Amino acid sequence: MRHLEAGGEEALIELRGVTKRFGEFTIRNVDLKVEEGEYFIIMGPTGSGKTLLLQLIAGIYRPDRGRIIIGGEDVTDKPPERRGVGYVPQNYALFRNMSVYDNIAYGLRVRGLRGWEVKRRVEEVAEVLDIKHLLKREVHGLSGGEQQRIALARALVVGFKVMLLDEPLSALDPYTSKRLRGFLREVHERFSSTTIHVTHDFDEAYELGDRVAVMRSGEIEQVGKPSEVVESPLSLFVAEFVGWDNIFKGKAEKGAVKVYGLGVLGNLLGHWAGGSEVYVAFRAEDVEVTNDEGLAMGVVESVSVRGLLCEASIRVGDLVVKARRPLSELRCSVGEKVWINIPKSRIKVFPST
């Protein structure tokens, strides 16, 4: 596993060769750095190890091998309460038999704070998170969005500068989830915290993250800014995960790649042995649809409009190529014959294994 450097600032959180076996699943030799003040996203499909990695950072589990460094201190063998991090699990883990006020105050009281200081800090964080009107309410009966804010308040009120959020928006309806993305970013900046946020939703990661790590089967496949990961995926898995719609089998031949239906694609990046099986990938946004002669001719099978974008499925031989462009650029109808072009610089080639 390659060592994954932070973007130039001193790392606040560092994982060095972290390995953990959990039943039949294993986190394998993860190296990772997260900068102070960063909103860092760990994303990947269900079962990729995102939550387990977050729990290792939180101290809920200890690694079998490797070290975890937070703020320059080796915390590998320290329990969660001595790591200086706030952990918000996916189910929020609120105390159902307590009021909202007592839920938020709990962490302060177990640390020995009493009276006016608890009241001041609870009301202060409740004001910032816009839940002051809920302080006397019981937890049961509150909406998912309200419960999420209470869970955040309980972690923030203690003064943690590191926040670990496990799928914080996954239990919410799409409207509430989208609305609260901006809220999470606002809280992150308001409290000058360092946030590690786990999600399976790439749109969520793209909107919130300063950088993202893509996980697969217990390993990190790629780390970078969201735009970098989208534009330049390092593996076929990452390309699929971030929404590269067009992925086809091909064969390397004399410095070029042949894709049945699209012909020979030459001058592509990479060195491939003649006759080797490869995958050719390109984004729907990079497909140009025209009436002028181009790379290949096809027939439009379907057209759909999504906001200001138009998406077309174009059959080229046995292949179906997806194109997604602004409405002003993509004007075609079902059954129409069109030509497609893909800029060579926008095509990626990956090994078949």
Please name which of 241, 242, 182 lies closest in space to residue 39, comparing C-alpha atoms: 182
Q: How far apart are the first and last CA of the chain?
A: 17
- How many residues would you count in the chain? 353
CA distances from 189 to 88, 180, 183, 350 (A): 17, 14, 10, 38
pLDDT at 273: 65
What's the topology of domain 246-351? OB fold (Dihydrolipoamide Acetyltransferase, E2P) (2.40.50)
Q: What is the pLDDT of residues 114-135, one digit of tens each?
A: 889 999 999 999 998 889 999 9
Given this model, what pLDDT does residue 276 score? 82
What homologous superfamily does CATH list for 11-237?
P-loop containing nucleotide triphosphate hydrolases (3.40.50.300)
Q: For residue 1, what pLDDT is reported? A: 40
Q: At what angle do helices 100-110 and 115-128 cross, to 10 degrees?
A: 130
Q: Phi/psi at 55 (nearest 5 deg)?
A: -70, -30
Task: Give the span between the Cα atoms of 40 and 34, in whole angstroms.
Answer: 7
pLDDT at 128: 86
Q: In this predicted structure, what is the pLDDT of residue 145?
A: 86
d(CA 54, CA 303): 41
Q: Is 269 exposed, middle or buried (0-12, 13-18, 19+ CB in 10 A)?
A: exposed
SS3 call for 106: helix
> Where do the structural domains in the chain lie, given as residue ranges?
11-237, 246-351
Q: Which residues of the chain carry a pLDDT beneath 50? A: 1-5
Decide: 319 and 249 in contact? Cβ < 8 Å: no
Give the dihedral sign, CA 261/266/268/270: positive
150-152-153-157 Cα dihedral, nearest 10 degrees? 150
**Confidence at residue 272, expressed as pLDDT on a 0 to 100 scale:** 65
CA atoms within 13 A on the CB side of 276: 16
Go through 170-183 and write b for each residue having 16 or more CB atoms within 10 A of its CB, e for each that does not. Answer: eebeeeebeebbeb
Q: Pairing state of beta strands 246-253 and 73-74?
A: unpaired
| Angle of helix 174-190 versus helix 144-156 axis, rounded to 10 | 20
Within 10 angstroms of residue 72's Cβ, the number of other Cβ atoms is 9
d(CA 25, CA 47): 9
